[in-house]
Structure 1
Amino acid sequence: MKNRITIPLLLVAALLLSACASSSGDTYSPDQARMEQTVTYGVITGIAPVTIQSDQTGLGTLGGAVAGGVVGSTIGGGSGRILSAVGGAIVGAVAGGMGESALRKHDGLEITVQKDSGETVVIVQEADKEPLAKGDRVRILKAQDGSTRVRPLP
């Protein structure tokens, strides 16, 4: 009985954690590694904190419903067991959806940069380990796939 509960919970946790993605300036996906990037330079003219929220996959809700239903089905007997399983599935679905939502939120920065060319651009990325501030001179890296990031000068 213990494995019937543990396995669905572990699967849900693994799926949620694998669905998290980073979009910070110092993190690259395997597809972005070894890809040529265009470099321009500029100065940060504005910076504001934002929240980056990835789309939910529904895995948290589904996994929570399954886990809640399994746990609920261990309570009671007869028609009470069915009600417990349904109630557990509902509570699990809500909790799983909220958990997935929390895992998919990241602190980010909306960075306004005036390029040396005079053009002004805004780039949103996750907050880096290396702090950025208004007035900092930075590199703007633009990959062939269109992804862009702001990095401090080395």
Structure 2
Amino acid sequence: MNKFRSFAGAAVLSLAAFGTAHAQTYGPQDEGRRFNDGSRVVCEDVEVQRAASDPNRVAGTAAGAVIGGLVGNQIGSGSGRKLATVGGAVAGGAIGRNVQGNQQEARGDRVVEQRCRRIHN
């Protein structure tokens, strides 16, 4: 039984080594490279978060919506006040999300990276 376990362990290790030895990564220098099987390397810019505590920008959206709603409520009168409040909340939420995104990008929380991969046609 021990010989079987040793053989099985060696087989698993050799398969794992084979899989990692043939793993291929591609960079921007490989973009457009074509292979015999018809596949090619394509690169694209991807926005990536780096240690952001609020990657979906919920705090900025919520704060902006509250502030925008309060400002909108001060503007309108009668039934127009409700419309102004809703409009202010929507606009404030969009502005708050954008402001938080700009702050995260300035701090380096969100960066754009070029990622390349091999695609099959």
What TM-score do you get using the length of structure 2 for normalisation? 0.44
Greater strand proportion: 1
Higher Cα radius of gyration:
2
What TM-score do you get using the length of structure 1 for normalisation? 0.35
